[in-house]
Amino acid sequence: MNRIKPFLLALTIGPCAWQAANGQDYVGYVEQLAAQAGQRAQMHAQNAITLYRQQTGDWSTPDQQVLAHLDALSRQQNPGFYSDLQQREQAFQTQQDAYVKNSNAVLDGMYNSYMDRSAAQYQGHQNYTREGIWERSHYTDGNEVYELPYYQPGQVYEGYDGSTMIQDEYGQYQHYDAYGWQSEMEQYDPD
């Protein structure tokens, strides 16, 4: 029987805990708490108005004016409390501003890191596609940059500017411009 008790307890509590964890709407819960706090504040304000009317016999002044009068009276009678309250509000606002500034800096850093990583991955993919699959690379004659195969000696390639590139048996490209001038090409690294 002692072995069965934990099992029965787990069977009983398990569905209740699962339902509470999965069925919880946090935003709805916070909205419910805010509504309850608003109701309590309204109830306290109404009690203060009723007490004021009973003590003064003033039943004709609108509720908002009574609340404003009670607020001014409270501030007059308790200046230290309201001064301390204002300092705490300012300290809290300063703390919140620092928190937001720090959080934004962290998010900016994460975003910039993600963008840098994405750009590096994209460039790596482009390099792999060009060099690993198509077996091509960038070559330059010092002025223009051309994308040519790694090793295909004897092949003649025509550039977009009317120039010609030929690779010799050693893998070295020779560039001939539109006027027939020859120059040796070098591998070019765009980074």
Structural domain boundaries enclosing 51: 33-77
Q: Which residue has the tokens 């003033």?
A: 58
**122 and 94 fall within a common domain:** yes
- How far is the C-alpha of 13 from the C-alpha of 40, rounded, in Å? 34
Extract the tokens encoding 51. 């007490």
Extract the tokens encoding 36. 């309850």
The number of domains in the chain is 3
**44 and 72 fall within a common domain:** yes
Can you give the pLDDT at residue 9? 47
- How far is the C-alpha of 55 from the C-alpha of 48, rounded, in Å? 11
- How far is the C-alpha of 141 from the C-alpha of 135, rounded, in Å? 20
**129 and 85 fall within a common domain:** yes
Q: Which residue has the tokens 């606002």?
A: 93
Can you give the pLDDT at residue 1? 45
- 1 part of a folded domain: no
- 17 part of a folded domain: no
| Residue that wins the pLDDT comparison between 67 and 1 | 67
Give the helix/strand (H/E) hosting 167. Answer: strand 164-167
Question: Full-prediction pTM beyond 0.75?
Answer: no
Q: Which of 1-5, 6-10, 151-155, 163-167 has the highest mean pLDDT?
A: 163-167
Can you give the pLDDT at residue 3? 56
For 111-151, the pLDDT digits (tens) are 999 999 999 999 999 888 877 777 778 788 878 888 888 77
**59 and 93 fall within a common domain:** no
- How far is the C-alpha of 94 from the C-alpha of 90, rounded, in Å? 6
The answer for residues whose C-beta is within 8 angstroms of residue 138's C-beta and 6 or more apart is: 145, 146, 147, 187, 188, 189, 190
- 182 part of a folded domain: yes
**166 and 140 fall within a common domain:** yes
- 125 part of a folded domain: yes
**93 and 105 fall within a common domain:** yes
- How far is the C-alpha of 74 from the C-alpha of 66, rounded, in Å? 12
- 142 part of a folded domain: yes
- 15 part of a folded domain: no
**111 and 87 fall within a common domain:** yes
- How far is the C-alpha of 149 from the C-alpha of 50, rounded, in Å? 91
| Edge-first strand listing for the sheet containing 164-167 | 156-158, 164-167, 173-176, 182-184
- 159 part of a folded domain: yes
- 53 part of a folded domain: yes
Alpha helices in the chain (DSSP H): 4-22, 26-56, 63-77, 79-127
